[in-house]
Amino acid sequence: MQEQTLKASRQENNLLILSPTGSGKTVAFLLPLVENLDPDANHIQSLIIVPSRELGLQIADVFKSMKTHHKVTVVYGGHEVRIERNNLLNPPAVLIGTPGRLLDHIQKGNVDLSEVNTLVLDEFDKSLEFGFESEMIRIIDRVPQVQKRILTSATQSVKVPPFVGMRDYAKLDFSGEQVPQQLSLKMVRSLANDKFEAVVKLLGQLGSDSLLVFCNHKAAVARISELLKDREILHVTFHGDLDQDQRERALVKFRNGSVKIMVTTDLASRGLDIPEVRYVVHYQLPQKADAFIHRNGRTARMDATGTAYLVLAENEALPKYLEVLPEEESLEDSHVPNEPEWATLYISGGKKDKINKVDIVGWLIQKGGLEKNEVGMIEIKDFGSYVAVRKDKVKGLIPAISNEKLKKKKVKVQVAK
């Protein structure tokens, strides 16, 4: 896909890329974007519009990993405008942002998009679905010099909106089949209309592998979360009503393995960096086939295998869009899933304090007495860091390092809530 996208970009100015989540689409559209960057320019050359802050941050991380030496800046709601404004004083080569925050910076005169030559609308159908059409129209009006446009989506049945200005374009379709060969579909029946007990049994049956429980509405996520808390089943939730810090902590814990269960809406079905999900559980089935495909795209990615479970009430019918009948599986009484071996610590120092992963590992080993294999995934944000450590080491670790400076900075350390 990446090779074909780069080749097509050299022949066409406008591209529409259809590809499922987790397929390498980000690198696919970044390759032609990077190829068009001028190292001597001192203005914003490429603009990437995204539907969510998480997707924007993920694209920025991928861009930085490409080691291009070009500056990239991300702007999004929930982030301090002052910090973003200061970052924009020295214009980045690549600007990534959510529509609302981008328009805010334009109106305040913090950005000049008049010389942008490459425009990317990543997951553009989600931006439209979230109601950002008017903002996107006003932003695109401010990029008169655009020569190359790249639109991406994980949905086959999308229409390119007229305001993008793409009358002619090359379509690259890598969306594939509805149910990939490496994905197993299974169905479990609840003996009652309330499916929660069936979900609890299923969670216990699936053991300690990572899984996503999908609901159609935020209210359902909240209800299931409260019931899981009553059963003392460790989990995180993810949906649009959570603030930035809550969503960030949920993703960090799920990524680093300190929490194995995430209960979520379709917000987590696309555009998030969530690797190695073994199971997808449909607590509520979506109304549309596209949503079903996107949810299932969280497992069985690339060459990996995975399983999607459909939880149905006693008399609930299978959705009409389902072309492959799932295998029925019986539920057995099972124990509460085992808790993960890892816990997540929050450290009040980050990128703005010039702290990196090597600093944190060395600090935890030298001052905290940990072994290297007792330190897990580390994620460093602007003003704080998250690190996974062996859960049985936390009790002794926090007192050992609480008065020790990290890179000459006094930091607070606590278990991430």
What does the pLDDT look like over 16-69, one tens digit per residue? 999 876 668 899 999 999 999 999 999 999 999 999 988 999 999 999 999 999
pLDDT band, residue 346 (cuts 50/70/90): very high
Instruction: Check if the beta carbon of residue 415 is closer than 8 Å to that of residue 368.
Output: no
Find tokens 């050992």 and name the residue: 400
Cβ contacts of 86 within 8 Å, gap of 6 or more: none
Give me the CATH code for the 2-173 domain, please. Answer: 3.40.50.300
Of the listed ranges 259-263, 323-327, 347-351, 382-386, the least confidently predicted one is 323-327
Q: Where are the alpha helices (DSSP H) in 243-369?
A: 244-256, 289-296, 357-366
Cβ contacts of 183 within 8 Å, gap of 6 or more: 296, 299, 300, 305, 306, 307, 308
Residue 180 has pLDDT above 70, yes or no: no
C-alpha span between 66 and 69 (Å, rounded): 9
Indicate yes or no: pTM above 0.85: no
Buried b (16+ CB within 10 A) or exposed e, 54-93: bbbbbbbeebeeeebebebbbbbeebeeeebeebbeebbb
The ranges assigned to domains in the chain are: 2-173, 183-328, 342-415
Q: Residue 100's pLDDT is what?
A: 96
Domains 2-173 and 183-328 are alike in CATH topology: yes
Q: In CATH terms, is domain 342-415 a member of 3.40.50.10470?
A: no
306-312/170-173 β-pairing: unpaired
DSSP conformation class of 318: P
What mean pLDDT is predicted for residues 200-226?
94
Q: What percent of the chain has pLDDT over 70?
A: 96
Q: How many C-beta atoms surround the C-beta of residue 415 within 10 A? A: 14
Q: Residue 6's pLDDT is what?
A: 93
Per-residue model confidence as pLDDT tens digits over 291-301: 888 898 888 66
C-alpha span between 316 and 206 (Å, rounded): 23
Per-residue model confidence as pLDDT tens digits over 381-410: 889 999 999 999 999 999 999 889 999 899
Residue 345 has pLDDT above 80, yes or no: yes
Q: Residue 181's pLDDT is what?
A: 64
Residue 301, amino acid: R
More confident of the two residues 303 and 157: 157
More confident of the two residues 412 and 129: 412
What fold is seen in the domain 183-328? Rossmann fold (3.40.50)
